[in-house]
Structure 1
Amino acid sequence: MESMSEVLRSMSTPDLRQRSVRLEQELLGHPLVRELLEEHPELEASRLRLHLSRLYQYVEESKHCANCPGLANCPNDFPGHYSKLSVETAPGGQPELYERKKPCELQLAKDAQDRIRKRITSFYVDERALSEGYDEIEIMGKDPRRMSAVNKLFNYIAHVRENGLGPRGIYLHGAFGTGKTFLMCYLLHELAVAGHSGVIVYMPDFVEELKTMMQDGARLKETVDAMKNCDLLIFDDIGAENLNPWVRDHILGAILNYRMNRKPTFYTSNYPLPELEKHLSFTSKDGEELYKGQRLMDRIRPFVEAVPLYGENQRGQHSS
């Protein structure tokens, strides 16, 4: 079938009438158009001929969708959408043909994923951990030694879906490369699907970046407020950062003080909780300050379930 633009370009040629009649016959005889007429016999052919361009668009986009090349290569005028025709009674009382653009299934799925991602803010965490997708069977079967910890996360997600968020989070600790970050990103994604907002922050880079934020009060406040107010907050790789007293006492302490008894905070770490307390008790500037480490731990330990994660180092392997 020729395009409408090709017909219009041929208006000055003698065979215009013949070509336009042929195009009209092809359109009116197309199975999709015949089906439309069977569903709406009240639509007169004379009215239908006034909307040949709509019929053409409808037929062509139906062909494109039947041979979909994927959302990124969608050839329709409005990518990710197709023409939907309907017959409605016009103000004058006559049936009239209307065209609307409808999102396809691929577009709807992308829109849903975009809405989920908008609920998640990542600071210095590899975006691939949040966007590569998750396979629960693979998560369970990746390493049998992870099963106990994985079940804890699955149960936590199911509990939140059924009962809503509580004030307690999870402290996931284990050796390098066992999948702590990946599993926390999975938890964050699943609860974002359920409508909760979340922030995940990679602690070593965040602490370094705070040194520059000291000169930008507005940016510092915006960042801290985001961590205070999100539904779920994940501190990834806590214990690997180079702490200073200001970060520990005035930033981390303020965030945790605000969230405790309000919203859950989650952690991944190579340290079990007693070792984390030792880490938080020492800063590069003031050395060891046990009571300040204990003070911060009083905002962590009572509000988490400590979950050990065992398994092989998966670094460099898929979905580690």
Structure 2
Amino acid sequence: MEHIQSSIEKILNRPDVAESVRAIHQRVLSHPGVIMFLRTHPEIDQRTIERGMLKLNEYAEQMHGNQIIEKKAVIEGYQPVLHLEKGQIMVAYEKTQALRDLENERALEKKFKSLFLPDEVRDANFSDFDLTTTDRKLALRAASQFLNSARSKQQTKGLYLHGSFGVGKTYLLAAIGNALKKERIATILVHAPGFVSEAKRRIRSDSFDTFLESFQTVPVLLIDDIGAESISPWVRDELFGIILQYRMMHRLPTLFSSNLSYDELELHFGITNDQGDKLKAMRLMERIRTTTNPVEFLGENRRRY
């Protein structure tokens, strides 16, 4: 430290240095970040400091303590870092903590896509889930067990949340999605009627195959309000059938919410009394039954209009 202090004093006391330049040197060499850098490199001598004064000044101009002064940043989102390279003082730039936090947040957002859902459930979480009844406690326990399995990358069945209108099925499904996002597990949560409408809109476009594949391959798929969509043979067989067959074969969990029980959903998929329709409905429901655990919600409508 005495060696560094002696070098600094010699620079500041040089008779050939103008007073204005001396003031700049004083400011730069008294900067905490510069002092810390020089302390960690005792091999730096007076000549190296003098030759590196522009770089030291570049650093000191932008930094207040160890924090970047945003309005003086040379590169937005990056802060200067002093380092020694082949005996010369240099400045490199690294991402600020604020930029890293922003990028992490954006990466998390990409992990969880919610489509065609109301805004009030987008921030759903387990801590706000009402536990006043036994069925809701059991539902939360099932959701927690699924999350634990997903977190530890264990093969696990999805959930089939069913019950009457407004009892909290969509909220719990969204809370599961948000919890998966925090675990950095890619998830799509989609409202079934909106999903079907969007698929019909895209069917003749070049983007349809990519659209369909995203639902087939996402690590966790959450389908809200299945059974509320307008059903047709194409929706049943070429949309839900293809997606769920792929996911079953590749052991990718799918979670559902519905106002219908398993048996009622099968009737919905049956469309007509035609024996062929009934057989196809049974085949689709077999995929849902064998890959999910049913969780029933009881109670009255809790929505406020």
Place the TM-score, normalised by the shorter chain, in its bin.
Answer: 0.7 to 0.9
1:144 correspondence with 2:136: no
1:293 correspondence with 2:294: no
Question: Which residue of the other structure, out of 106, 111, 122, is the alignment partner of 1:114?
Answer: 106
Q: Who is 1:42 aligned against?
A: 43
Q: Which amino acid aligns with 1:229?
A: T
**Deviation sequence 1:32-52 (CA, Å, 0-9, x none):** 322222222221233223334
Q: Who is 1:24 aligned against?
A: 25
- CA change 1:39–1:300 in 2 (3 A) is same
Q: Which consecutive unaligned segments of at least 5 residues does structure 2 have?
A: 1-16
Q: Which amino acid aligns with 1:234?
A: L
**Deviation sequence 1:234-271 (CA, Å, 0-9, x none):** 21111111112211122111111222242111111122
Kept in 2: contact 1:143–1:311 (CA 8 A)? no
Using structure 1 for the length normalisation, give the TM-score.
0.76
Q: Who is 1:206 aligned against?
A: 195
Q: Which amino acid aligns with 2:57?
A: Y
Kept in 2: contact 1:64–1:75 (CA 8 A)? no
SS of the residue corresponding to residue 271 of structure 1 reads coil
**Deviation sequence 1:17-37 (CA, Å, 0-9, x none):** 433321121111223322222
Report sequence identity in percent.
Answer: 27
Q: Who is 2:117 aligned against?
A: 125
Question: Which residue of the other structure, out of 291, 294, 298, is the alignment partner of 1:303?
Answer: 291
CA drift at 1:169: 0.9
Counterpart Cα distance in 2 of 1:109 and 1:247: 41
Counterpart Cα distance in 2 of 1:67 and 1:180: 46
CA drift at 1:193: 4.3
Kept in 2: contact 1:82–1:103 (CA 8 A)? yes
Using structure 2 for the length normalisation, give the TM-score.
0.79
Q: Who is 2:12 aligned against?
A: none
Q: Who is 2:94 aligned against?
A: 102
* Counterparts of residues 1-320 of structure 1 (less than 5 Å): 17-63=18-64, 66=67, 76-88=73-85, 90=86, 95-126=87-118, 129-130=121-122, 132=123, 136-139=126-129, 142-145=130-133, 146-166=136-156, 168-216=157-205, 218-262=206-250, 263-282=252-271, 289-310=277-298, 315=303
Counterpart Cα distance in 1 of 2:199 and 2:171: 25
Q: CA RMSD in A?
A: 3.3
- CA change 1:38–1:282 in 2 (3 A) is same
SS of the residue corresponding to residue 160 of structure 2 reads strand
Counterpart Cα distance in 2 of 1:128 and 1:84: 43
Counterpart Cα distance in 2 of 1:53 and 1:315: 65
Kept in 2: contact 1:143–1:312 (CA 8 A)? no
Counterpart Cα distance in 2 of 1:56 and 1:249: 68
Task: Tell me how many residue pairs correspond in the alignment.
Answer: 286
Counterpart Cα distance in 1 of 2:128 and 2:98: 24
- CA change 1:159–1:28 in 2 (3 A) is same
Q: Which amino acid aligns with 1:169?
A: G
Q: Which consecutive unaligned segments of at least 5 residues does structure 1 have?
A: 1-15
CA drift at 1:101: 2.2
CA drift at 1:170: 0.8
Counterpart Cα distance in 2 of 1:171 and 1:198: 16
CA drift at 1:227: 1.3
Q: Who is 1:6 aligned against?
A: none
